[in-house]
Amino acid sequence: MRLTPFSTLSLLSVAVGISLATTAQAAQPPAPDLSNSEFQQCLDNLKNSSKFSGVDSYTFNNYRPSQPDPSVIQSLNYQPEFQKDVWDYLSALVDKERVEDGIRAKRQWGSTLRQIESRYGVKAEHVLGVWGVESNFGQTLGKKPLFESLATLSCFDRRQSYFQGEYANALKIVQNGDIAPNDMTGSWAGAFGQTQFMPSTFLELAVDFDGDGRRDLVNSVPDALASTANFLDNRGYRTGEPWGYEVKLPDGFWAASNRKDKKSISHWRDQGLTLANGSPLPYELSSAGLLLPAGMEGPAFLVGKNFDTFYSYNASENYALAIAHLSDLITREDSSKTDFITAWPTDDPGISRQQAKDIQQALLNAGYDIGGVDGIIGDNTRTAIQQYQTSRGIFPADGRAGQKFYRAIVGNAAPSQTQYGQPANSKPLNPTSADRMGQLIQQQTTAPSSYSSQPSVSSSNSGNTRYRRVTDADGTIKLVRIDQGS
Ligand code: CA
């Protein structure tokens, strides 16, 4: 499945203890050889276990996988090959394109968001921030069959007990009639729908907001948005409070990053902190902790309880900061500048999604088989970058796609007009044949347009709009509006 690192692990990083910020795509251990007879025996045992007592045998049998899926065990044991700096993480998640998609979504779903805000007390832009980071506003849902994934994880390797509970819950969701069986696809670990809820979270917190009697987090945007608000409310969201704000530390100030050590705003004023633009700290937060994602030299933040509710969605401070920052930019309706006021402590900042695509195209042109151009710098791309750097004597050969590498490989020329030869000193691990490369490039140019370039949406669309899921040629799942009436 085309999974962005963040949606892969939605709500699961707490459960299986995976650090989100260091997760990337691809480069996995070899697929294990799983015994199907062992698998079927395990399913027989599960069927009669107490965990599955709420699942009727028709449901269990009807969606019983005929074989395990070894790829999910690969994903479970995946160790990222490359570490990701916070500025790369943020620039990939909060870029011009996503802010613009968010501003469009705010207009399209305005009336629904206002109703949600009045029922749950959660600010519309905070809901949009979660939606944008979790599933790119419903465009990236994950396409692994959930029953196969969860059944496999229930029977092999570590965390079986946890996944058995989620497998039983996933079956109950279908048994209840909330989600159509064919829509039960998601991340390798079982997070699904536009909110990327795990099945247990679904059963606890999903709501039917469009009133059709089903909690459909796959096809109903109102259900997905209201369920997100319900989740944040349930985790202690404070109505009317901002998540926090970027601040400026006074000269000579020293502190460790500790979001949980909450103090009053008066305390922070006394310490000499101001807003990043120099204005006095407003008294909008009942208490706030200091967050320093890159240490004392980078952007600094005071964060309140609502930041913690974002954190509870995925147990990563960088993830929560992405939601927070995206929600601010959507509030301001300004996509022109996605940086914080204080620069990250690096002379080689992160790249935008378009720049990532340009780099990938240049690597393809140079003969590196990175699969395709998706704007996501996963391990395949990073391995190719490292090989390219090594072959050209670029130091450090760290596989990182930053502004310096962008200038080195793309320069100022449009990538499609630039010809790159084979690397001088080493061959790519998987050089593409001319035919294969031609096909790849052909695919790039003929792939269906993305959701963001669909006809723009109007604010008259109310909460009743329905979507159908379409799988693109490159495997991404997106939602396409089904026009009502006529
Ligand atoms: Ca519904």
Residue pLDDT, tens place only, 362-377? 999 999 999 899 998 9
| Of residues 316, 315, 358, 322, the one with CA closest to residue 338 | 322
**C-alpha 482 to ligand 1 mean position (Å):** 16
pLDDT grade, residue 13 (50/70/90)? very low
The percentage of the chain sitting over the pLDDT mark of 70, rounded to a whole number, equals 79
What residues does the ion ligand 1 have nearby, CB within 5 Å? 208, 210, 212, 214, 216, 220, 223
The DSSP bridge pattern shows strands 185-186 and 244-248 to be unpaired
Which candidate, 143, 205, 149, 141, places its Cα nearest to that of 173?
Answer: 205
CA of 217 from ligand 1 middle (Å) equals: 8
274 beta partners: 248
Q: How far is the CA of 129 from the centre of ligand 1 (A)?
A: 21
Summarised one tens digit per residue, pLDDT across range 408-452 is: 999 854 444 333 333 333 333 333 333 333 233 233 333 333 333
- Whole-angstrom CA distances from 177 to 15, 52, 56, 114, 211 are 26, 17, 13, 28, 14
SS (H, E, C) 91-107: HHHCCHHHHHHHHHHHH
Which stretch of 129-143, 155-169, 440-454 has the lowest confidence by average pLDDT? 440-454
Reported as a pLDDT band with limits 50, 70 and 90, residue 480 is: very low
Task: Measure 207 CA to ligand 1 centroid, in angstroms.
Answer: 7
Tell me which DSSP letter residue 244 carries: E
Q: What is the distance in A from the centroid of ligand 1 to the CA of 359?
A: 41
Report the separation in Å between the CA atom of 360 and the middle of ligand 1, taken as the mean of its atom positions. 40
Which residues does residue 192 pair with via DSSP β-bridges, in sequence order?
Answer: 186, 197
**Per-residue confidence (pLDDT) for residue 28, from 0 to 100:** 57
- Distance, in Å, from the CA atom of 46 to the CA atom of 168, rounded to the nearest integer, reads 9
- Max mean pLDDT among 11-25, 74-88, 224-238, 400-414 falls in 224-238
Over range 381-391, report the average pLDDT: 94
Report the pLDDT averaged over residues 232-259: 96
Distance (Å) from CA 185 to ligand 1 centroid: 18
> 9-234: what fold?
Helicase, Ruva Protein; domain 3 (1.10.8)
Q: Residue 462's closest CA among 78, 47, 100, 107?
A: 107
pLDDT average, residue stretch 203-222:
97
SS3 of 124, please? Answer: helix
Q: Which residue has the higher pLDDT, 46 or 371?
A: 46
| Local confidence band at 321 (pLDDT 50, 70, 90 cut-offs) | very high
Give me ligand 1 centre to Cα 181, in Å: 16
Instruction: Please give the CATH architecture assigned to the domain spanning 244-320.
Output: Orthogonal Bundle (1.10)
Lowest mean pLDDT among 11-20, 76-85, 471-480: 11-20
Task: Give the start-to-end residue ranges of the domains of the chain.
Answer: 9-234, 244-320, 353-481
Residue-wise pLDDT tens digits, 169-210: 999 999 999 999 999 999 999 999 999 999 999 999 999 999
Distance 107 CA to ligand 1 centre (A): 21
Evaluate if residue 454 carries a pLDDT over 50. Answer: no
